[in-house]
Amino acid sequence: MTALIRNPLTIVWALLTTVTIVSSLIALDGGAAHQINTTVTTAVLLIAAVKAQLVISHFMEVRRAPVWLKATTSGWVIVLFALLLGFYFAGL
């Protein structure tokens, strides 16, 4: 049991779950009024980007994969979230 807890994958999972709850709380707290809130949006999207990158590198095991795959997947995360934030702020 202790070995499983110390397993890096379980730690990644615990981290992912925690930030999921944190980002939900951010949305509940700061976004309760359902008005435009750039702080909430930025925080939530950045958390999502980190989560996606964590799942890709640790669960999909891309961190042990060849460079082209790492570059493609991380590129996807960076470009996607840059575009999302860009369109968000452009549309305000």
Partner 1 sequence: MTDVAEGSATDVDRSQRAAGARGHVPGDSSMWFFVIGDLLIFGVYFVGYMYFRGQHHELFLKSQARLNLDIGAINTVMLLTSSLFVVLGTEAARAGNRAAALQRFWIALAFGAAFPLLKMFEWIPEISAGVTPGKNLFFMYYYVMTGMHLCHVALGLVIMCFILRNLKTSKAPKISFVETGATYWHMVDVLWLVLFALLYLMR
Binding residue (CB under 8 A) for partner 1 from 29, 71, 74, 76 = 76
Residue 87 identity (one-letter amino acid): F
**Residues that contact partner 1, how many (by CB under 8 A):** 56
> Per rule CB under 8 A, is residue 90 in the interface with partner 1?
yes
> Per rule CB under 8 A, is residue 24 in the interface with partner 1?
yes
CA pair distance 50, 72, nearest whole angstrom: 16
Distances (CA, A) of 17 to 14, 20, 55, 60, 72: 5, 5, 12, 17, 25
> Per rule CB under 8 A, is residue 74 in the interface with partner 1?
no
> Per rule CB under 8 A, is residue 78 in the interface with partner 1?
no
